[in-house]
Amino acid sequence: MRILLVADIHANWPALRAIEEPFDACLVLGDLVDYALEPTPCIDWVRRKATHAVRGNHDHGVAQQVRVQGKNGFKYLTGVTRQVTQERISSDDRRFLGALPVTKRVSLDGVKFLMVHATPRDPLDEYSIADVDFWSRRLADVDAHVICVGHTHHPYILEVGDKLVINPGSVGQPRDSDPRASYAIIENQRVELKRIEYAVEETVTSVLQSALPEPAKALLAEVFRTGSLAKPDSSRVKSEPPTTTIPNSAAS
Q: Is the pLDDT of residue 242 over 80?
A: no
Give how many domains the chain has, as a whole number: 1
For the chain, how far is it from start to end, CA to CA, in angstroms? 15
Instruction: Establish if 93 belongs to a structural domain.
Output: yes
Instruction: Establish if 154 belongs to a structural domain.
Output: no
Greatest Cα pair distance in the chain:
54
Q: Is 163 helix (H, G, I), strand (E, B) or coil?
A: strand
On average, the pLDDT of the chain sits at 93
Other residues' Cβ atoms within 10 Å of the Cβ of residue 32: 35
Question: Residue 11's domain is classified under what CATH number?
Answer: 3.60.21.10
pLDDT, tens digit, for every residue of 10-48? 999 999 999 999 999 999 999 999 999 999 999 999 999
Taking CA atoms, 89 is separated from 12, 138, 213, in Å, by: 14, 35, 20
Q: pLDDT class for 236, splitting at 50, 70, 90? A: very low
pLDDT, tens digit, for every residue of 186-228? 998 899 999 999 999 999 999 999 999 999 999 999 999 999 9
Q: What is the pLDDT of residue 230?
A: 58
Instruction: Establish if 78 belongs to a structural domain.
Output: yes
pLDDT, tens digit, for every residue of 55-81? 999 999 999 999 998 888 999 999 999
In this prediction, residues 136-142 reach a mean pLDDT of 94
Q: DSSP string covering 30-52, please?
A: S--SSSSS-HHHHHHHHHHH-SE
Q: Is the pLDDT of residue 232 over 90?
A: no
pLDDT, tens digit, for every residue of 158-170? 999 999 999 999 9
* Domain coverage including residue 90: 2-102+169-251
Q: What pTM, to 2 d.p., does this model score?
A: 0.91
